[in-house]
A and B are shown apart, each in its own frame.
Chain A
């Protein structure tokens, strides 16, 4: 008989990491990213804490990943370490070990608690190939509505839900070739995503941009309901 594997030592330090998905690597899916990140921590020789069992895994907690195809400046995860290290050193090593386009922005020591609890809202920019005036009108109509019902195919089948209540702030700004939406979304259940808001704009005001919109998450963190702003989850 084979012996049971020995128990792994508990973590001695937890680090929170903010990273970006940029340019062509915005097509990295969450699964792709987690595989790439696990290889990067091995290359970077980060002294990870591992889970126990026959097939130990490095302890990594992901939170609030952006959908495949969306760029992001504000993705977060937390890693547990077997040794105490300087977060700045880990940042440099990880930055070297990850491909360009998956870029580490910040590494800080975790004060404890759940990272996911701090990710209450997101600030998005959505670039559209649409007429600016039409976009302005659509935004006004959307904001005037109490509720905007949209449908989306989920793992559990086609679901219908309201996408209006989760919108904390929405405005349209012009850009050289089309329009840009500036959107703050509250995280909740069911999760309302930027493309749900686009579906809502289509159903309320018939906004129908050409081609695929470019989504960019600028920030993700604690939500200030009074100002409609998204804070930094690593500074709290």
Chain B
């Protein structure tokens, strides 16, 4: 037992000084100080010079959003654990600080720090940022600036870490190319170790050639994208003429990394358990990676191919280990379309049997209407509540769903919700998108008709009037590496008009209006997300301008300022001949060089284009459907031959056995 008030800050015994003594006296004055102190269960603080033989390689990992959003992020937790398992690597975590602490840090000259050892970010070898969304870009600039690292890669010296981006947004890192030293596409588990080895070898040799040589080695040997080694030339019309390597040995295209055999990588095995409240208070197991449903709007489904399942046994082991080590009593089975796992029925039944009579509850996010069945839903609610079911038809009309290749018929949906309502569920949530290619007002108004039919059917089968349906609507943002990468984004004025018409239609309905909830956001943030998603290097100046003007936390409606982004775009893009609309609401042609064409997600660009044409044909009534290559023959998207990968699925035929009580 330690003495009263003695800090159990099991902090750095060597290396750079902890900033905690300077931070601590100011913590009582900021909101939710617990988010800045670290010490989470299963967190790791290693010695700064932990390597027993040779140099230690040190990573600072950042999820560039508030702690409550960043801590639960699976990607960061996995990499943190994989890196720290090596006895020659130190990995610590850092998150965006709220404006109240930022003010204190600027006053006291406290640099951006890790929550583990409270070490300054600038002291690390590698600063790795995970971008699930482009709206974290201004937070990256703020963290760099607070860390005392020059925001432009060109201004950094050998005293600065290598700044590397990963995550889905890194599939088009061009808007932040000026701020990055490198970007990694795809699965991070193996490549972070490969990067660490390159850094170690370079340090063993006493850092020959400085950071430029280190980056060259990463680009040449590691399939790592180093933006500075590529020159971008623009044509007179503002489009890109070419992106070419500017020194010998640098590859023309950089390929994504794909982890095969997920059973060999059962992470997180030591889930972080925060003291602060976070957005996900559960233990999640990724039951498979990748999705081949072929929904044309879905960037995640396109860039994470092929499908790779975890086996039922690994899933069972990960769930048991995870809840025992975390104490979470809710388990989420994560993936892009969880009910599509080849053995989902056995997984659900096995887990429900195993934890029967306990308070462990299971949830299955991302369930498709056509893959849903009542047996499955019953297993998942055996120990929990039947609070609500969520489905995502995405498009209101059958025509729209054909355009996006989400082939869910109205009959499918009505049958599914009827089954749910008749089995005791009272609430169904439906997700849709607004602004999809070729969409008209009628397509959006069809959402209201669908919701009314859902309520009518629910009342009929349940014999009750208290059933509800919540309609949630997101604005569609065209994303790189998808068939819709050429599409024009819908302007925010039209988006808002359509949503208003839909809302009015629902509200006016006397019979059903009150049973239908309606959730949506205005179209403005989507336009900025669109700018950052499909932007090129010229957009970097906009991001910098916004940050300099005080822009932070753009994913938070209370911090996001559309006017600031518009003003900054006008200022930063002046004289380039391109503007916000050019990047967002403009349709692209087949011939246009897209900013991410030199970044290889494995998808064949001609296949994407053909799929885009099929979408337009479907819009005009053609009957074309891309099936799922998980069950039907390969449709030549290009990923497997290009990447040397293959689909990895069951069934394994195994069953989960009951656990013996310890």
Contact = CB atoms under 8 A, between A and B. Distances in A.
A214 B328 contact: no
Interface in A78-114: 97-101, 103, 105
Interface in A19-34: 20, 22-29, 31-33
Interface stretch (B139-147, B260-268, B273-281): B273-281
Given A24-B9, A29-B34, A43 B275 contact: no
Interface string A194-221: 0000000000000000011010101000
Contacts of A54: 385
Contact of B327 (A20, A43, A69, A101): A43
B248 interface: no
A23 B5 contact: yes
B375 interface: no
A181 to B, nearest CB: 14
Interface string B37-70: 1111100000000000000000000000000000
Contacts, number: 106
B46 to A, nearest CB: 16
A89 B9 CA distance: 27
Contacts of A214: 5
A1 interface: yes
Contacts of B10: 100
A69 B28 CA distance: 6
A41 B33 CA distance: 25
16 contacts: A20-B4, A22-B7, A22-B8, A23-B9, A24-B38, A24-B39, A27-B27, A27-B36, A42-B323, A42-B329, A43-B325, A69-B28, A71-B4, A99-B40, A103-B2, A105-B1
Interface in B1-41: 1-2, 4-10, 20, 24-29, 32-34, 36-41
Nearest to A37: B327
Contacts of A24: 7-9, 20, 24, 37-39
A198 to B, nearest CB: 12
Contacts of A26: 5
B424 A1 contact: yes
What class of interface size applies to chain A in its complex with B? 35 or more
A50 B5 CA distance: 34
- Of the candidates B37, B327, B359, B424, the one having the most CB atoms from chain A within 10 angstroms of its own CB is B327
A56 B4 contact: no
Contact of B275 (A25, A56, A71, A218): A25
B6 to A, nearest CB: 6
B106 interface: no
B4 A216 contact: yes
B324 A32 contact: no
Contacts of B385: 54-55
A2 interface: yes
Can you list the 3 inter-chain pairs with the closest CB atoms, starting with the nearest? A39-B327, A23-B7, A43-B327
Contacts of B424: 1-2
A36 interface: yes
B321 to A, nearest CB: 12
A235 to B, nearest CB: 18
B86 to A, nearest CB: 24
B660 to A, nearest CB: 14
A29 B2 CA distance: 21
Contact of A27 (B34, B273, B325, B326): B34
Contacts of A50: 359
B237 to A, nearest CB: 56
A39 B328 contact: yes
A195 B415 CA distance: 62
Contact of A73 (B4, B8, B281, B323): B4
A101 B2 CA distance: 9
Nearest to B386: A2
Name A's interface SS.
Answer: mixed
A68 interface: yes
Nearest to B36: A27
A40 B327 contact: yes
Contacts of B323: 42
Contacts of B20: 24
A68 B33 contact: yes
B302 to A, nearest CB: 37
Nearest to A56: B359
Contact of A212 (B4, B28, B273, B327): B28
A180 B29 CA distance: 21
A101 B37 CA distance: 11
A97 B74 CA distance: 22
Given A22-B4, A23-B8, A36 B275 contact: yes
Contact of A39 (B26, B27, B326): B326
Interface string B309-329: 000000000000001111111
Nearest to A70: B28
Contacts of B4: 20, 22, 71, 73, 125, 216, 218
Interface string A154-191: 00000000000000000000000000000000000000
- Most A CB contacts (10 A, CB to CB) among B10, B36, B37, B385 go to B37
Interface in A123-146: 125
Contact of A32 (B7, B36, B276): B276
A62 B359 CA distance: 22
A123 to B, nearest CB: 11
A32 B2 contact: no
Given A24-B24, A25-B39, A31-B277, A43 B6 contact: no
A42 B323 CA distance: 9
B447 to A, nearest CB: 30
B27 A100 contact: no
Given A23-B5, A73-B4, A99-B40, A212 B25 contact: yes
A103 B4 CA distance: 11
B272 to A, nearest CB: 11
Nearest to A48: B359
B288 to A, nearest CB: 27
A100 B325 contact: no
A29 B277 CA distance: 10
Nearest to B325: A43
Nearest to B323: A42
A22 B5 contact: yes
A41 B328 CA distance: 11
Given A41-B327, A103-B2, 9 more contacts: A20-B4, A22-B2, A24-B7, A24-B9, A24-B20, A25-B8, A27-B36, A68-B33, A101-B39
